[in-house]
A = this chain, B = another copy of it.
């Protein structure tokens, strides 16, 4: 039995769901892979908990479910600690970085936590798009220098293995284009408005369903899709793209009448993220709403679907669609990444 020590920064929706998965699957993972994952540290916005023998996942989950902070954890609660302090102090094998995206604050504290962890020789797994969109090349270079792995299969299109498909299964191909619907919130909101729900109510419902956070600008203005496209461009296409390279149009310019008219024609709007290979070999990156006929390969996506389509020279065109009734698949990508490292 191999023991793997984990530190988790950010215990929001994804972080809690990941703890739940680890709690439920402990026996299965030990039996099937001979691996015992032990959460030794966790940090939320109000403090941290650290115990080198391992934290009790049930207690962590109960604290969070009742609106508390892990800093109140029984044997190891650390009220004053930031996420960075925890990562600095912890003796662990892997950092799971699941703090909010926070692009306004230069992707902090996620970016600092990732740098610190790698400098301490820890692998980093993250569904957090912020640090990757801002500093992909720097982080990958650091991972290489430190001989650790940086994995982020959950950063693009939730539980859909978009990065794995692109980096592993498309090897040897020239990728002619990537077309994706990597953002859940915009599709959900546009479907609601197309059916006659007022914008504000559609946004409220999206928040209730857990597909939209905060004021919604990150999703609705296309930043989320653009960040995911930047990550795909770097990881899969191996081009040093940044957010500035993406021509970005959000969905806020669409009128309810346009959305309803498309629906009446049997079509649906989706926020499409595209990378199109140019004759010179570089790629044009764009995010913009598009109206899709049912015949379009991404034209039958439901409100809780995301998709990625790779069009290549030798592997044909490959479309992968995920249905996420709730964010569990997105959280589960951290387990997928762990098993990619250790399994």
Best-buried of A25, A33, A161 by chain B (most CB within 10 Å): A161
Query: Which of A1-9, A98-106, A257-265, A323-331 binds B?
Result: A323-331
- What is the minimal beta-carbon distance from A50 to any residue of chain B, in angstroms? 25
Q: Is the CB of A316 within 8 A of B329?
A: yes
Q: Is the CB of B172 within 8 A of A25?
A: yes
Query: Which of A79-87, A128-136, A193-201, A334-342 binds B?
Result: A334-342
Give the interface residue-count category, chain A. Answer: 35 or more
Interface residues as binary, A168-181 with B (CB distance below 8 Å gives 1, 0 otherwise): 11011110000000
Contact partner of A325 (CB less than 8 A), chosen from B25, B159, B316, is: B316
Q: Is the CB of B314 within 8 A of A21?
A: yes
Q: Is the CB of B172 within 8 A of A318?
A: no
Interface residues as binary, A42-55 with B (CB distance below 8 Å gives 1, 0 otherwise): 00000000000000
A contact face: mostly helix, strand, loop, or mixed: mixed
Whether A172 contacts B339 in the complex (CB less than 8 A), given A300-B294, A314-B329, A329-B316, comes out as: yes
Q: Is the CB of B343 within 8 A of A329?
A: no
Q: How far is the CA of A75 from the CA of B329 in the complex (A)?
A: 56
- What is the minimal beta-carbon distance from A296 to any residue of chain B, in angstroms? 10
Q: How far is the CA of A174 from the CA of B335 in the complex (A)?
A: 13
Contact partner of A159 (CB less than 8 A), chosen from B165, B316, B319, B329, is: B316
A-B pairs with beta carbons under 8 Å apart, 15 shown: A168-B168, A172-B343, A297-B321, A314-B329, A314-B335, A315-B329, A315-B336, A316-B322, A316-B323, A316-B324, A316-B325, A316-B328, A318-B320, A318-B321, A320-B321
Interface contacts beyond A169-B336, A171-B343, A316-B322: sample of 11 additional A-B pairs, CB < 8 Å, sorted by A: A28-B172, A33-B172, A159-B316, A161-B318, A171-B340, A172-B335, A173-B332, A297-B323, A314-B335, A316-B323, A316-B329
